[in-house]
Structure 1
Amino acid sequence: MELVLAALVLARLLSCAFSDTQGDVLYDLKNSIKPPAYQLTDWNPNQVNPCTWSNVICDNNNHVTSVTLSGMNCSGTLSPRIGALKTLTTLTLKGNGITGEIPKEFGNMSSLTSLDLENNRLTGEIPPSLGDLKKLQFLTLSQNNLSGPIPESLSGLQNLINILLDSNNLSGPIPDRLFKVPKYNFTRNHLNCSQNPPNRCESDSTDSGDSHKPKVGIIVGIVVGLSSILLAGGLMYFICKYRHKGYKREVFVDVAGEVDRRIAFGQLKRFSWRELQLATDNFSDKNILGQGGFGKVYKGVLPDGTKIAVKRLTDFESPGGDAAFQREVEMISVAVHRNLLRLIGFCTTPTERLLVYPFMQNLSVAYRLRGKRKPEETVLDWETRKRVALGAARGLEYLHEHCNPKIIHRDVKAANVLLDEEYEAVVGDFGLAKLVDVRKTNVTTQVRGTMGHIAPEYLSTGKSSERTDVFGYGIMLLEIVTGQRAIDFSRLEEEDDVLLLDHVKKLEREKRLDAIVDRNLSRSYNMVEVEMMIQVALLCTQASPEDRPAMSEVVRMLEGEGLAERWEEWQHVEVTRRQEYERVQRRFDWGEDSFYNQDAIELSGGR
């Protein structure tokens, strides 16, 4: 049973790997062929895992192997960038309205076995570069407007078993070698089919060619049958072996009870304790990158020179937590997005739980805003801060709206948003609250987070939702604008608000926006953009979770869509609320008894 479960987990994780290049190429293809707006809606340029997109199939190595976009009423042209997909074996675009020529770059898809462009509006000549597709078995270009001769280079396709070029405007002779292909069709063109009698323009559909040609269907059937028998036999052998003997355990590290089953969870590696111990110099204090509610993070270097960040989680005393921990690790590992920190491995022992991530050389946003920077490390400029805000929003939007089940971060703050080598935002620590709480019976009431970032309803009820993340994100926006902490007791010296949110609200009401902005920016910022970001932050931090926008709305507002309308509505509500508060306060100062009745009830909620 364990073997079957492991196989299912492996299959699921393999389907969720990613490749930036492949995603970019496919998204470029989508833009080029121009499908209707209702088609390929899940092809998200920010979701760099094309293996999860519709009509795309990947192999076990996370390479795109099949793209099938038939009958989608496309109206554009073919993108030459598709030639970069070296592992693609099947490309099917039949039944569309694609125009233009077949790019010569199609000849670069060296693994292609099937190319189907039937029933489009393609023009121009068949590119001779298709003769470079040495593995090609099926070539279908029927029902287009292709012209010119059939390239002689197609004669070199020794694996070709089906070539259909009918219903075009092709002319000239047909290479002799193509008449030996088991199935061909050159009809309804201007080709010289009878130049070398007795060749015909179409092969006999009931015959695969000359009598000496092998029966391809029979051969394929025999091969598939034998392969199935061998595969079934091998599977039965391993099932029986593991049923009687259990997993073979190779305990080779210096931690009692550590298990290394050598199961590769897709792109996840199960590290041994010893590996991480050596990588971090026995978890030396000099390698500590940071410390939070979930444990310490250490910088490490693997034997091949790869730099890693190892998060050593705390609070795992209960027995039997290993299986639950692995399930949760597998769940967060399938969340793959350009703006999410990628989990590359983990380690478990009876007393330790560790997660392994790629090392982010520019550390966190919090460090860049107010850490003890080295002389060569500059303060984040305004353009970078804008990009970080938008990138973090997109990462959270993916967790909330594109993961199944959705993932709630529960500790959104500048310290948990990292910066890659290009200073792009990478949200980290998502899903860790669930990892830590998985062994508890009162998960829904276990509050995790950082004071100053925790939404009021989460603090009072212990129940988190996407909108608690939105609140934390709003506070993080204020951190980005001001460079200050969410809670700062030093502000008491100036008789100011300890909470950053209250501090910003006060200055915003007084129209003192310049006093809000981080002084380190030295006035090198756009005040209109600053005002917009503060408005988004205040909308995200409303007391009622129902009033806060979803992260997808936040993304749109940061991109300049819909903010003005929502802000105007919010201001009207805030003015009314403030006037009511001031009216009640005056009555309280005058000692009116009515204050203790209805007004007290109206103001009992969070403000």
Structure 2
Amino acid sequence: MEHGMVFSSEESRGPTSAGATDTASLGSGSTGPEVSHLGWGKWYTLRELELATNGLCEENVIGEGGYGIVFIGVLTDGAKVAVKNLLNNRGQAEKEFKVEVEAIGRARHKNLVRLHGYCVEGAYRMLVYEYVDNGNLEQWLHGDVGDVSPLTWDIRMNIILGTAKGLAYLHEGLEPKVVHRDVKSSNILLDRQWNPKVSDFGLAKLLRSERTYVTTRVMGTFGYVAPEYACTGMLNEKSDVYSFGVLIMEIISGRSPVDYSRPQGEVNLVEWLKIMVGDRKSKEVVDPKLPEMPASKALKRVLLVALRCVDPDATKRPKMGHVIHMLESDDLLFHDDCLLFCRNGGMQESIQMASKRIAMPQS
């Protein structure tokens, strides 16, 4: 497994700072560098990005999936970047593209992958991101890392909390808010200190012009999608919360959200974990590759948070800001809270009981 260069199927990767040349021209008719009137990033020419990625060659590909192909690039100033060549964008008007990219580009948070700039030239639509050099969470959870995972309990909790903070910023710190629409482990990039950075936020909205593309890929990934999606076809911030709950379960258990290689009854991670917790087997859901067992109190807390996030009733799921409060609370959550929650399928009484004990307001 390559730790620094390989990313999963959909993501752009990367840590460095806004490494671009001075600026770049926009459109095939431009002849020189211009400062972006958007006020946040840079326009790159196709020539600059081809030069940085060795002609968009296959050897520079570090990710490929529904959103596009991602290349590692080195700019003329030596800065490493991740260049995402977007797919399914032939109908994307230049003005519309710039407006949508601006919304993504203005996001600034330590737990979000930073967008440095973009290229609009001919049929090309490219995004230039910081390069995060330690792969993605999916690789570290499910890749060949040996019998003992380098992801300790503390590291996993840091990843969960950092991801929650990044999503809370998208939902509650921006106007208009940004709904990710595809929260999953392969979209969580990790730096060398194991700090998480959420990637690909805003791309579903950016590429919404392709209707079949939106409904099949951008709007969610099988196993992470909230149940109400099947009824309405619409995703919102509470859908992100559901996906985040699945992500927590994945991080704690080391299991994929859907795994058909497992026995019947264990294929669906959410349903299996509910049963295990309901049967007072919380310790048995922990990833066997974890170097050490977590404290019972800490395990119960994070399991309850996960269960609240995947409540079948979207209106009962907490906001991401409330999730952060729960994760950071030192108050003891009793096992019976989780037990009652599982057996009642997320009944309001059990939510109120658990929330009261951690002094958390209802969403």
1:52-451 to 2 correspondences below 5 Å: 262-264=34-36, 265-318=38-91, 321-372=93-144, 379-438=150-209, 448-451=219-222
Give deviations 1:369-397, integer Å, cap 9, x for gaps.
12245x9x962111111111111101111
Amino acid at match of 2:223: G
Unaligned runs of 5+ in 1: 1-19, 21-248, 580-607
Query: 1:441 and 1:361, CA in 2 relative to 1: closer, same or farther beyond 3 A?
Result: closer
Q: Distance in 1 between matches of 2:230 and 2:252?
A: 25
1:395-544 to 2 correspondences below 5 Å: 395-438=166-209, 448-491=219-262, 494-544=263-313
Amino acid at match of 1:536: V
- In structure 1, the residue matched to 2:343 is 575
Q: Work out whether residues 26 and 121 of structure 2, in 8 Å CA contact, stay in contact via their aligned partners in 1.
A: no
Query: 1:350 and 1:461, CA in 2 relative to 1: closer, same or farther beyond 3 A?
Result: farther
Q: TM-score with structure 2 length normalisation?
A: 0.79
Q: Distance in 1 between matches of 2:52 and 2:213?
A: 36
Q: Distance in 1 between matches of 2:283 and 2:269?
A: 15
Q: Work out whether residues 539 and 567 of structure 1, in 8 Å CA contact, stay in contact via their aligned partners in 2.
A: no
RMSD after superposition: 3.2
Q: Distance in 2 between matches of 1:442 and 1:366?
A: 23
- In structure 1, the residue matched to 2:4 is none
Q: Distance in 1 between matches of 2:212 and 2:30?
A: 26
Q: Work out whether residues 259 and 349 of structure 1, in 8 Å CA contact, stay in contact via their aligned partners in 2.
A: no
Q: Distance in 2 between matches of 1:328 and 1:434?
A: 8
Give deviations 1:164-194, integer Å, cap 9, x for gaps.
xxxxxxxxxxxxxxxxxxxxxxxxxxxxxxx
Query: 1:525 and 1:323, CA in 2 relative to 1: closer, same or farther beyond 3 A?
Result: same
Query: 1:250 and 1:359, CA in 2 relative to 1: closer, same or farther beyond 3 A?
Result: closer
Query: 1:282 and 1:524, CA in 2 relative to 1: closer, same or farther beyond 3 A?
Result: farther
Displacement of 1:322 in angstroms is 1.5
Q: Work out whether residues 178 and 202 of structure 2, in 8 Å CA contact, stay in contact via their aligned partners in 1.
A: yes
- In structure 2, the residue matched to 1:553 is 322
Query: 1:578 and 1:297, CA in 2 relative to 1: closer, same or farther beyond 3 A?
Result: closer
Report percent identity of matched pairs. Answer: 37
Q: Distance in 2 between matches of 1:566 and 1:464?
A: 32
Give deviations 1:69-125, integer Å, cap 9, x for gaps.
xxxxxxxxxxxxxxxxxxxxxxxxxxxxxxxxxxxxxxxxxxxxxxxxxxxxxxxxx
Q: Distance in 1 between matches of 2:273 and 2:173?
A: 32
Q: Distance in 2 between matches of 1:452 and 1:435?
A: 23
- In structure 1, the residue matched to 2:6 is none
Q: TM-score with structure 1 length normalisation?
A: 0.49
Amino acid at match of 1:266: G
Q: Work out whether residues 418 and 425 of structure 1, in 8 Å CA contact, stay in contact via their aligned partners in 2.
A: yes
Q: Secondary structure at the match of 2:39?
A: coil
Q: Work out whether residues 535 and 567 of structure 1, in 8 Å CA contact, stay in contact via their aligned partners in 2.
A: no
Q: Work out whether residues 182 and 240 of structure 2, in 8 Å CA contact, stay in contact via their aligned partners in 1.
A: yes
Q: Secondary structure at the match of 1:355?
A: strand
Amino acid at match of 2:89: F
Amino acid at match of 1:367: Q
Give deviations 1:234-284, integer Å, cap 9, x for gaps.
xxxxxxxxxxxxxxx887xxxx67887723243411111122222222223
Alignment coverage as a number of residue pairs: 322
Displacement of 1:551 in angstroms is 0.4
Unaligned runs of 5+ in 2: 1-16, 18-24, 348-363
